[in-house]
Chains A and B, each alone.
Chain A
Amino acid sequence: MRRTGPLVVAFIMGFAMIFQYFIPHPLSQKFYEIMVQQWLIIISIFLYLFGLRSFTLYHYHKVRRKKEGWYFSLIALLAALITVIIGFGTRRGPLFDKIYDYILAPLQATMFSLLAFFIASAAYRAFRARNLEATLLLVTATIVMLGRVPFGAFMWHKLPDVVEWILKYPNMAAQRGILIGVGLGMIATSMKIILGIERSYLGGE
């Protein structure tokens, strides 16, 4: 019951979801709608609540035990609480939108743009033309970067077309090879889960 039960559930659900895809009957489509658009979302509500609980408890304990940097945890909790109060209080009104426009979006964009600096310094260290492969990586990255800015077109008007060709053909060829590999890997892992060979999601068995 404790070990076999969940494996049976995973097996039934897995095969049910595979079969419904290949049965073009209204009942099968209804089953898909109910499962994916209702049941799984409803269950995810409970899982989301657990994630929220982990966030709250982690920072609450840090504040309560006055651990190092506890005041930052307090700020995180207060920021979450205030956002929730404004969101529910105004029913996602204009003030809630302002939180997105002037706090969340700028913070997100700035955080990601910060990577531009680190990626540049990392590239400086990693991109040394030591062998053919490293040289190809360096040259392609440089061409793509130059071709994406007006200065590249100013240097050679055909450069944007060259970049487009690199992205469309040799780049896409390797990406496709990788995608096919990823797809095969996903199918194999999913089959292992459905057949009960892969059980780590149930707690390291």
Chain B
Amino acid sequence: MSTNPWVWVAAFLTLAIYSFLYKDNPVYRFAEHIFMGVSVGYGLVLFWYNSVIPRLWEPLVKGTEPTRFFLLIPILIGALTFSLFVPRYSWLVKYTLAFVVGASAGLSIPLSFETNIFEQVRSTILTRQMLSGWGMVSNLIMFIGVIVTLAYFYFSMEHKGVIGKTARIGRIYIMIAFGASFGYTVMARVSLLIGRMQFLLHDWLGIIK
């Protein structure tokens, strides 16, 4: 059995969370709120050291005059969020939101084109090389799968006739993908469960070697 008090803390918290399998209880809620609080505190410390210090504090203190001047603009835009404390001027926060949302939307458009569309289409297009050898059937299955899945999500036409049949095959592909994703997720969770069991039985109790 472990003599490390930290291992005991971790073991207690692990068992406290698993107590939920019986029913919702105060011990579980205690561990849950510890999790919540520690996550917030941990996040804040990391945010401070990884974002505030290198991106704001150091450029403000050590930066050149023009750098400092330019930093005033985002500080001003960010500080507009404090207008929420004054109901009369609370609308000013919309400028901060518009800046962030507008920039993020603008950034996401080329990024989506590149990663979600061009890259996926490029990988799906059949080349002569892909249509030779043993991989031909698999590559054809992939190519057809992408087309029929897209057909399933095409709602500008009623799913009747050719479109309907294609969409139905698309649904079969989607079900296979969902099944695979489900199986994959279950196995990921089971791996975590095995990890916790190993911790309890090996690190804490020392029952298994």
Q: Is A111 an interface residue (CB 8 A)?
A: yes
Cβ-defined contact, B17 with A136, below 8 A: no
Please report the C-alpha to C-alpha distance between residue A87 and residue B99 in the assembled complex, in whole angstroms: 32
Q: How far is the CB of A86 from chain B (nearest CB, A)?
A: 8
* Chain A residues with CB under 8 A of B52: 45
> Which residues of the other chain, B, contact A99 by a CB distance below 8 angstroms?
38, 42
Q: Is B73's beta carbon under 8 Å from chain A?
A: yes
Contact B120 A109 (CB under 8 A): no
Instruction: State in angstroms the CA–CA spacing of A182 and B120 once bound together.
Output: 12
Contact B142–A169 (Cβ < 8 Å): yes
Contacts of A108 on B, CB cut-off 8 Å? 35
Q: Nearest chain-B residue to A36 (Cβ)?
A: B107
Chain A residues closer than 8 Å to B95, beta-carbon distance: 5-6, 9
In the complex, the chain B residue whose C-beta lies closest to that of A173 is: B145
**Neighbouring A residues of B159 by C-beta, 8 Å:** none
Q: Which one of A21, A39, A106 has the highest number of Cβ atoms from chain B below 10 Å of its Cβ?
A: A106
Complex: A96 Cα to B190 Cα, angstroms? 29
**Measured between alpha carbons, how far is A1 from B128 in the docked complex, in Å?**
58
Set of chain A residues within 8 Å of B181, measured between Cβ atoms: 171
Minimum C-beta distance from A165 to chain B (A): 7
Q: A36-B107, A92-B49 are in contact. Are A178 and B149 (CB under 8 A)?
A: yes
A50 to B184: give the CA distance in the assembly, Å. 37
Contact A166 B45 (CB under 8 A): no
Q: Does chain A have a CB within 8 A of B10? A: yes
User: What number of B residues sit within 8 Å (CB to CB) of A?
Assistant: 111
Chain A residue with the shortest CB-CB distance to B15: A110
CA distance A142 to B144 in the complex (A): 24
How many A-B residue pairs have C-beta atoms within 8 angstroms? Tell me.
Answer: 375
CB distance from A177 to the nearest CB of B (A): 3
Contact-residue size bin, chain A (C-beta under 8 Å from the other chain): 35 or more
| Contact A144–B116 (Cβ < 8 Å) | no
- Is chain B's interface secondary structure helix, strand, loop, or mixed overall? helix
Q: B180 near A87 (CB under 8 angstroms)? A: no
The one of B110, B150, B182 in contact with A181, judged by C-beta atoms closer than 8 angstroms, is: B150
A79 touches B37 (CB 8 A): yes
Complex CA distance for A148 and B105, rounded to whole angstroms: 39
Question: B17 to chain A: which residues have CB within 8 Å?
Answer: 107, 110-111, 114
The reply to whether A76 and B36 contact each other, CB–CB distance below 8 Å, is: yes
**Are A176 and B120 in contact (CB-based, < 8 A)?**
yes
Q: Which of A101, A137, A139, A191 is in CB contact (< 8 Å) with B6?
A: A101
Interface set, chain A 112-169, CB cutoff 8 A to B: 112-117, 119-120, 123, 132-134, 136-145, 148-149, 165-169
Contact of B29 among A69, A92, A137, A184 (CB under 8 A): A69
Cβ contacts under 8 Å, A145 to chain B: 183, 186-187
What are 20 A-to-B residue pairs whose CB atoms are below 8 Å? A2-B94, A7-B98, A22-B110, A38-B59, A39-B73, A43-B100, A46-B78, A106-B196, A107-B34, A110-B13, A113-B192, A113-B196, A137-B179, A137-B182, A167-B180, A169-B139, A170-B180, A174-B149, A176-B146, A180-B116
**B-side interface residues toward A, CB under 8 Å?**
6-7, 9-10, 13-14, 17-18, 20-21, 29-42, 44-45, 47-49, 51-52, 55-56, 59, 70-71, 73-75, 77-79, 81-82, 84, 91, 94-110, 112-113, 115-117, 120-121, 123-124, 138-139, 141-150, 152-153, 170-187, 189-190, 192-193, 195-196, 199
**5 other A-B residue contacts (CB within 8 Å) besides A14-B103, A17-B106, A49-B81:** A76-B34, A79-B33, A101-B6, A170-B177, A177-B148
List A residues at the B interface (Cβ < 8 Å): 2, 5-7, 9-18, 21-22, 34-50, 52, 55, 69, 72-73, 75-84, 87-88, 92, 96, 98-104, 106-117, 119-120, 123, 132-134, 136-145, 148-149, 165-184, 186-187, 189-191, 193-194, 201-203
Give 10 closest A-B pairs by Cβ, nearest first. A173-B145, A183-B116, A177-B149, A79-B37, A83-B41, A17-B106, A140-B179, A144-B183, A87-B45, A10-B102
